[in-house]
A and B are shown apart, each in its own frame.
Chain A
Amino acid sequence: MSKVDLSRFKFDGLKQNPLADLRDLSDEDKDQLLMAGVTSDLSTRSASYLQMDQNAVHCKSNNPDVEIMDIKDALVKYDGLKEYFWTLVDKDKDEYTRSAYDNLHGGYFIRVKAGAKVEEPIQSCLMLKTENVGQNVHNIIIIEEGAEAHIITGCSVAHGTTAGAHLGISEFFVKKNASLTFTMVHNWSEHVAVRPRSAGVVEEGGTFLNNYVLLKPVMDLQMYPAITLNGANALARFNSVVVASKGALLDMGNRVVMNAPNTRCEIIARTIASGGTIINRGHIGAHAVPSKGHLECQSLIVGDGRSWAIPELDGTVEGVELSHEASVGKIAQEEIEYLMARGLDEEEATATIVRGFLNTDIMGLPERLQKEIDKQIDELQASGSM
């Protein structure tokens, strides 16, 4: 694993002023937020949290069933969140977790109350505003029994910011028969280092659906969120669409551990290395039966790049059903010729195939975000980097 030299970044003293209304952001920063799936039009959101650099600048819920606050306030209100805070991620795991433990800047606390079916997405954004800022955040997400919610979280640089470090701890708690769709869009920049450390538990009958999109450049990103299915009939599904642009080093993957009967999981990653390196990990552990898991990492190398797929399956009892499919390849000549026979020239055919490869329809995203992602793919293709 590559190391990020944290001493290069400023982890202290970068306070930003509160923002009563997200519409007061500059147009450029609004665009940056939009690219990460976060809108300043709050009529389509149940709740919003925005952090800039080292403190929360906006935090508001429009839905009484959604509690959203700065993690620091939640720690005070809930007496240290003892059942949740640092229970899934080890604070001594590495220097990044220690940095977040020793010098907490903020992060969001989201609690969706038992039985609530929250229609509009909850959104959060962790933004790097100042050049070379170091940001330590810790997020706690609790979906109480029988509740349902969709959280869209965008991590973004502000307009013009090129360098920074984002260290983020996230701990997810999906309770009995609850359902969480967690969509994360990363909108970083060429010199940003990113170290999320995420883990979650899903209880009986719970569902955790995770979407991840990274189409923008980033310098160095390493993450390996782990979800443990602790109750019967729990389900986890990960869908990722990732492009490793020029100079990027991405070491990412998903881990699911199935500890209860009738658990299921699916991890699907579609990645393109176009100038960068991607290490695409995946791990499914099955320790109870019946259980079923499928892991898929499909990767294309377009131009230069390296793609290293590491799928792992670990079954420890008779009767588990685990499978994986991994591929690292190029765009198939057969597919190009099929489209050329319909009148598309080679460039159009290639672009169409790449477009399809990165298709995120399956994620069921809100229309606005879907359009934004489609636009980013168009821009990526128009830039000629793929």
Chain B
Amino acid sequence: MLTIEDLHVNIGDKEVLRGINLQINEGETFILFGPNGSGKTSLLMTLMGFSGYDVTKGTIIFKGQDITRMPMYERARLGIGMSFQRPPTIHGLRTRHLVRMCSRNGEVNPDALAQSVNMTEFLDRDINAGFSGGEIKRSELLQLMAQQPDLVLFDEPESGVDMENMQLVGKVARDVLDGNYKTFPDLSLKERKQRIKTAGLIITHTGYILDYVNADRGQVLFKGHLCCEGRPRDIMEHIREHGYQECVRCMN
């Protein structure tokens, strides 16, 4: 599904990613660990195609297409979706309208989707206007449910979310990845699962999200390099115990 080869990325003069190689298969959920400033968010932003992230070397292949230089909206239409950490407020743009626009094939019922993330009362509000941390996450998930991407990029699904909301966010995140949501109310669970094989690339600091999603693999990003591939829970436990010092040792 996604193949990254020897990816080097600069923000201005500073190299933030230094030769990333990564493969994520169809339907697979991959967890990215790493300390602040290690380049995790930069990797997601580069995959989505944000301006200011200059690919100086390497390629990104998605569904067999080289998307390294592809405009962001084409990547989105090809099936990459992203949950934003701090999305902007857009005056006068109702959440309902945006949810509709996210679904380019038009098969979407904003009310049914909103109900599943407890966002019904937000549908007629301006997108992100005065939303709390948890509300932003739910709104992002709501948009992703409408968009139905094949690869979901999640930047810290747990940040700014209280424990009560974490349950809901975690559950919906899982639904998005597993295809259990109400986009096709007429289809059986089995049909939906066949139809939706969503892969995920998730950044986590706390690891709370691991309690909810079925993570297949994980890796640590450290100073722009990927290292220490393993089972996400093992990596998480190791980091909890030893911090990222082990990564330094490992890389040297």
Contact = CB atoms under 8 A, between A and B. Distances in A.
A340 B76 contact: yes
A102 interface: no
Contacts of A356: 90-93, 126
A352 B101 CA distance: 10
B37 interface: no
B84 interface: yes
A386 B50 CA distance: 24
Given A352-B93, A352-B101, A356-B93, A340 B71 contact: yes
Chain A residues touching B, majority SS: helix
A357 B77 contact: no
A361 B92 CA distance: 8
B153 to A, nearest CB: 9
A332 B81 CA distance: 21
Chain B interface residue number, banded? 20 to 34
Closest 6 interchain pairs by CB?
A359-B92, A356-B92, A356-B93, A343-B76, A340-B72, A340-B73
Interface in A131-153: none
Contacts of A21: none
Nearest to A361: B92
A119 B73 CA distance: 47
A341 B88 contact: no
Interface residues of A, number: 25
A337 interface: yes
Nearest to A355: B92
Interface of A: 270, 298, 332-335, 337-346, 349, 352-353, 355-359, 361
Contact of A343 (B50, B51, B73): B73
Contacts of B93: 352-353, 355-356, 359
Contact of A342 (B88, B92, B101): B101
Contact of A358 (B72, B92, B126): B92
10 contacts: A335-B90, A339-B90, A340-B76, A341-B48, A342-B81, A342-B101, A343-B73, A343-B76, A346-B73, A355-B92
A23 to B, nearest CB: 35
B87 A338 contact: yes
